[in-house]
Amino acid sequence: MLIRLAWRNIWRNTRRSLITLSAISFGLTVLIFLWGFGDGAHERMVENFISISVGHLQIHTSGYLRSEDPSLTIPQWREKVERLQGFPEVYSVSPRIRSHALVATPTQSSGVLLSGVLPDTEIKVTRLLEFISKGRFLSPEPKGEVVIGEDFARFLNVSIGERIVILTQGFNGSLASGSYEVAGLFRSGVPEIDRGQIFLHLKTVQELLSMPDEVHELTIRLKSSSQLEDTRFAMSRVFPSAEYEIQTWIDLSPMVVQWIELDNIILYIILLVVTIIVSIGIMNAMLMTVFERFKEFGILRAMGTMPHEILLMILLEAAMLTLLGTIAGIIMGFGLDRFYGWHGINLSEYSHAFANFYSGTVIYTHVSVKHLLQSAGIVFIAGILSSIYPAIKAVRLQPVEAIRYV
């Protein structure tokens, strides 16, 4: 009976109930959409960061990342690559040589990170081949060629087919130099890569540095990011920590994780604001309901209705009102999230602002189940809690005073 009464009481003032429902559903819709935008941007950010350069995991000789000593190499790397390929979670492994170098042309010079890669394996670990905008990628066999970023080529004033000079420190500490033809230009959208990194064939770099058939790094791409920690643990049994360091993309760039955490903090602040708005709306609606029904509550009390029954009825009204608004908000918010998850949100006009965040220019919204339920749950609980004060005010009414209330 209380449920039926509560349901009827909600629609006694249809306009006010609809306004309250609209506030709840609109606030929750916006919140779910923002979570979808944030979660989608974060997924794209992590995927781009992994596929542009670092991979899921990297293996180095102990101490290499701290000192960048060119002599700290991984010997017999081909055998290690074969062992890594034996892990069921591993999609591909790419060996690399890293060295800081000076690139010079007749008019300009600049410092860069020189990366020696095997083209066949590198394109399976990263998306470098997709970023080629002019020319071509490195040939499977070493041909004395280099691939550089478009921005860097513009700075050096070179184009496809022209040559650049690379100066660096050799493996034995002596000065090493060589002239290489620009085979292709790439654009990843990340300034630190487009302006600060160039790619040569692995054997070409070994010849330049006069180093043995060894590498500095093994970059690993997994079939799924969810297997990250389990795979690292399994690899640690094969590559002991005394000799090798196994880092995940999180270890290699904690800044990306901090960006995601900062975005989540901002969204939680928005959640707090929406919760406050919903709470005020519910409290205002229930207070107005209590004031309008003073005489009714007085009659109910005089007829023997217990205080806890009146309290329960008002809480049921608030719960039903909040539940309807929450369901409507979930439907509209999830529908909006799915629509933009399919079509995407084009932010190409703000590409420079998003370049350093690896999120790309098109964001596909994708709200996680956790954030969807969390937002809906908090809004629903806030709606019920905000009705407690009006309910207590109705319970404390004296029957005689309430009946005479005008």
When pLDDT is cut at 50, 70 and 90, the band that residue 193 belongs to is: confident
pLDDT at 398 over 70: no
When pLDDT is cut at 50, 70 and 90, the band that residue 25 belongs to is: confident
For the packed helices 307-343 and 388-395, what is the interaxial angle rounded to 10 degrees?
Answer: 160
Please give the structure tokens belonging to residue 193: 């890569």
pLDDT at 361 over 70: no
User: Which pLDDT score is estimated for 406?
Assistant: 46
pLDDT at 196 over 80: yes
Q: What percent of the chain has pLDDT over 90?
A: 28
Picking from 266-270, 294-298, 351-355, which range would have the lowest pLDDT averaged per residue?
351-355
When pLDDT is cut at 50, 70 and 90, the band that residue 153 belongs to is: very high
Provide mean pLDDT across the span 351-357: 56
Provide mean pLDDT across the span 291-304: 68
Task: State the average pLDDT for the chain.
Answer: 84
Return the exposure string of 292-317: e unless at least 16 CB atoms fall within 10 Å of the residue's CB, then b. Answer: ebbebbbebbeeeeeeebbbbbbbbb
Picking from 19-33, 102-116, 340-354, which range would have the lowest pLDDT averaged per residue?
340-354
User: Which pLDDT score is estimated for 172?
Assistant: 78
Q: Could you identify the residue written with the tokens 């994708």?
A: 366
Q: What percent of the chain has pLDDT over 70?
A: 90
pLDDT at 360 over 70: no
User: Which pLDDT score is estimated for 194?
Assistant: 83
Q: What ranges in 50-95 are assigned the alpha helix state H? A: 64-67, 77-85
pLDDT at 294 over 70: no
Query: What is the C-alpha separation between 250 and 144, in angstroms, rounded?
Result: 34
Helix (H) or strand (E) holding 147: strand 145-149
92 bridge partner residues: 221
Please give the structure tokens belonging to residue 65: 């990342």
pLDDT at 322 over 50: yes
Return the amino acid letter for 124: K
pTM above the 0.95 mark?
no
Question: 76 in the Ramachandran plot: left (φ > 0), alpha (ψ -120 to 50) or beta?
Answer: left
More confident: 323 or 399: 323
Provide mean pLDDT across the span 326-341: 90
User: Rounded to the nearest 5°, which phi and psi values hold at 216?
Assistant: -95, -20
Provide mean pLDDT across the span 217-221: 94
Contacts with 203 (C-beta within 8 Å, 6 or more apart), sequence order: 116, 142
Q: Dihedral, CA atoms, 361, 35, 337, 341, nearest 10 degrees?
A: 30
Provide mean pLDDT across the span 293-316: 72
**pLDDT tens figures, 158-191:** 999 999 999 998 887 788 899 999 999 998 877 7
Query: What is the C-alpha separation between 221 and 83, in angstroms, rounded?
Result: 14
Please give the structure tokens belonging to residue 111: 């410092």
